[in-house]
Amino acid sequence: MTSGKTLFFAHGFSIAFSGDTGVVPPSDVDVVLVAPKGSGTTVRSLFLDGRGINASVAVHQDVSGKATERAYALAAGVGAGYMYGTTFEKECVSDLVGERGSLMGAVAGLFHAQYDELRARGHSPSEAFNETVEEATQSLYPLIGKNGMDWMFAACSTTAQRGALDWAPKFQQALAPVIKELYDEVANGNEARRTLDANSRSDYRAHLEKELQAMRESEIWRAGRMVRSLRPENLDEK
């Protein structure tokens, strides 16, 4: 990095937890962030489709006086349609909470809990998976993404509507302490240090593969592979 250049980040982690990562940019360069709000696979596929994905934008150092302009230009370049300003620290904390919460961790835990209960009560793997995952991802979640949860509640059957309205506050109350603990652990740096420690071990890849294999071979996701193979679009390919 030579004077006058721009150092670009796609995540705030390295700067937000620089005390642990050791990443300290030179003082004579612009330091900016453009963080697309989606997986790399989604960012790429939407870009190729001519669509965009939301992205947050932040400036850590503005030496040139043009760092903000450059950051938003980079966001446009990677296909971000909607951009919003933040800081490296807030982007990092909110993203880590989201990944461990409603984006992946909490969803995986909820899926397992509901599937296991249905199976324990005598429901078949196909029925348990369809009522837990398939209907959510193939029918309801896309509608929620398109129209909002309020629309989904208004558009569903009266039995689903009444049950969802009654049980949503119970889930919120039960999960609120877990989300608070999660946020605290991310904000105080403990989660970052755990991540750095785990990912720095020499046996990281082997240990990760064991964890992923356990998930891959669990009954819920074996049932999922079978159900996905029976989708009409997949049958047409055979």
CA atoms of 63 and 80, how far apart (whole Å): 24
DSSP type of residue 23: -
- DSSP sequence for 186-213: HHTTHHHHHHHHHHHSTTHHHHHHHHHH
Show the DSSP H helices in the chain as ranges.
Answer: 13-16, 18-21, 40-48, 67-77, 88-98, 105-120, 125-129, 135, 141-147, 149-155, 158-187, 190-200, 204-216, 219-229, 232-237
Distance CA 213, CA 149 (A): 34
Give the pairing of strands 30-36 and 55-61: antiparallel
Judge whether 60 counts as a catalytic residue.
no
Is 83 within 8 Å of 55 (Cβ atoms)?
A: yes
Integer Cα distance of 84 and 103 in angstroms? 19
Single out the residue of 55, 61, 73, 75 nearest to residue 6, CA to CA. 61
| List 11, 60, 123, 207, catalytic entry | 11
- What three-state secondary structure class fits 162? helix
Catalytic residues: 11
